[in-house]
Structure 1
C-alpha cells in the first residue's frame, strides 16, 4: 500500500469505531434484565449497584444516545439502529415511564439527542419532544433579567441550562415562537454571563425572591463555552455574517486563548465534569463546518489536536481503549471496583469517544488537513 493510500484511510472514523466498541463492551447493559432495553452503566469496573443502574445519571444517557447517533451517521448499521431504539426505551423505563425530570439542562440534552436520533433511525419522538419543549418554555421567568432555571424550584439560572435549551428550541421550533425564545436565551447569556475581558462564559447567577441578581458565579467551564457556541452557530443560520457568527467566532478565540493548553481542551475530572470537554469538542466541530471565517479553521485545529491527545494518551484494556479525564495526560486503566479513578466513569469515556467522533465528522467533510 502506498503512502498516499494510507493517508486516504478514514483514520478518525476507525478510532471512533474502536472507542464505540469499548464503550459498548464495558458499559451497555439491559435495564433490570428487560428485553429490548439498554442503558449505560455509570462506572466500569461495575459494582452490583452499577449493574442495577441504581446510579444512572439521566443526562449521561442523553450523551450516550448522541454518541450512538454520531456513530450511525459515520457508519450506519441495523445493529446500531436497534441499540439506539433500545437505549431510548431504557431511558424511559429507568425514568419510571416519563421523559422529563426537574432539571432543565437534563431534559434539554435528552431532547437534542432524541431529535437527532429521529433523523437517523425510525423513531417517533413527537410526544417526548412536546413534553420537553413545553417544560423548557415554562422555565423562562424575568428573575435575573430572564433565562430559564437550572432546575424547578431553584434560585439559580445558568449557561448549562440555557445553552442546550436554546440549541434545541432553535433546531426543533415546534412552536412558532421557539426560535425567538432561543434568541432570547442566548441574548440573556450574552448580557449577564460573558466575561468581556476574555470573551469566556461564566457559569450562572443566583437571584433573590424579588428577582434581583444576588450573585454571579464567575467559574469558567468548558461546558459553558460549548453550549453558548452551539446556540450562536445555530442562530447564525439566519444571518451568516451577523452578530451570532461574530459571537461564535469570539468564543472560539477565547477558548484558544484562555482555556486550551497547547491546543488541547482541558478536562474537569470525573463525574458530570467528565463530559464537559467532549461537549465543547462537539460544538467546535459544528463551528468548523458552519462558520465561513478563520475561526472555523481554529475550531477545527482545536478538535483535531484534542482528539490526537486523547487517542495517544489512552490507556489499554482487553475491551479497548480507556480515556482519561485530561486528554493531555496518560490515562490509567482502573483495576477494580474500589479504584476511584475518574477513568471508571461513563462520562469520561463518552467524552473521549465524543472528541473522536467530532474528528471523524471533520474527516468526512474533508477538512482535516
Structure 2
C-alpha cells in the first residue's frame, strides 16, 4: 500500500515538474511550481536545496523499485544541478550544500568539494558549530544538523560529534526536548522558533552518532508537541513545504534503530502521517496533488510541498518493506 502511494507520488511529481534545463538535451531538474510561471519554465527560480531533496526521493524510488531509466535520470539530474549552478556544486548556504552532499553521497558520488565547504564554516564563536551561510553571523540547526549527518556518514566522526554536541548543549529546550532554530552569535540571542525541520535533522544526527538517549528524547518531544492526532504538522508553502518530510525521513530511521517504545512511536507518526497525506490529496493531471498540511485539504502547487509528501511516502514504504523483508 505505502509503496504504491510512493510510486503514485513519484509519477505525479516527475510528470508535472521534471523538465530539461534551458531546453538542453540530456538535462533534467524539477520546476519549482506547477503550473509553472514563465521564470519557472526556464528554471530561473530553481531552488537548489529543493532539488537536493528531489534527488533524494529519486534515489529512494530507485531503492524501492530499481529501474535503468530512473538510474539514467538520476545521473542526468546530478549533472544538471552543476550546470544550472553555473558550473559549481557550491553556493552561499551551508545547509543547502549539506543537503546536496547527503543526496549525492547516497548516489555514490564524490562529495569532497561540499565537505570542504562545511569544514571551513566551523568557528569557535558562539561555542562552536557552523554558520548558516557565507558572511553571516547566525548559527542554526538547519545547517549544523545535516552537516553533522554528512560528516558522520563520510567517516569524519570527530567533526560530526562537535556539531552534535554544540546543538545538544545550545539549542535544545530543556523543558520540552524540542530543538530551537538557532543562535545570533553577536548578541547571544537564541531564536526559539520550533520547526519540524530542526527536530528531523537533530534526530538524524543523533541516530548517525548512536546518541540513543537524545534521539529517543526527540521522538517523544515530536509526538507530544509537533503531531496533533499523530499527524506531523505542516509549515506552509515555500521552504516550509519540505520541513515535515525531512522529519519523516529521520523518524523512519528512528523506527528501525531505536528501542521500544520510541521506535513504535516513530513508526506510528510516519504511517499515520502518510495515511493522512494520501487521503487529503487531490486528483490532478499526472496523479495526486498534496497539501502543505497533511491533515488538511488545500493543495499546493509548490514543488517543495510535493517533494515533502513524496519524502513521507517513501519513508513509510521503507518501514513496510523492512517488516516484510527484515531489512531497511
TM-score higher than 0.5 here?
Answer: yes
Instruction: Give the 4+ runs in structure 1 shifted more than 2 A.
Output: none
How far did 1:47 drift?
1.5
Q: Structure 2 matches for 1:136-151, cutoff 5 A?
A: 136-151=118-133
Cα deviations by residue, 1:134-155 (Å, 9 ceiling, x for unpaired)? 1101110011110000001101
> 2-side partners of 1:166 and 1:36: how far apart?
33
Aligned position for 2:318: 361
Counterpart position of 2:65: 75
Cα contact 1:36–1:89 (8 A) shared by 2: no
What does residue 80 of structure 2 align with?
90
CA distance in 2, matches of 1:318, 1:149: 41
Q: Distance in 1 between matches of 2:124 and 2:311?
A: 35
Matches of 2:308 and 2:251, distance apart in 1: 14
Q: What is the match of residue 264 of structure 2?
A: 297
Out of 233, 256, 263, the position equivalent to 2:230 is: 263
- Partner SS for 1:205: strand
CA distance in 1, matches of 2:298, 2:73: 28
CA distance in 2, matches of 1:330, 1:143: 45
Structure number with bigger Rg: 1
Unaligned runs of 5+ in 1: 1-10, 119-124, 237-243, 333-342
Q: Secondary structure at the match of 1:34?
A: coil
User: Is the partner of 1:218 in helix, strand or coil?
Assistant: strand
Conserved in 2, the CA contact under 8 Å of 1:322 and 1:331? no
In structure 2, the partner of 1:133 is 115
Post-superposition offset of 1:367: 7.2
Which residue number in structure 1 is paired with residue 169 of structure 2?
A: 191
Q: Look up the match of 1:116.
A: 106
Aligned residues: 325
Are 2:199 and 1:225 aligned? yes
> Contact 1:267–1:325 (CA<8 Å) still a contact in 2?
yes
For 1:166, which of 137, 145, 148 is the aligned residue? Answer: 148
* Aligned residue in 2 for 1:204: 182
Unaligned segments of structure 2, at least 5 residues? none
User: In the aligned structure 1, how far is the partner of 2:233 from the partner of 2:82?
Assistant: 33
TM-score by length of 2: 0.98
Please report how far the alpha carbon of residue 102 of structure 1 lies from its aligned counterpart in structure 2 after TM superposition.
1.1
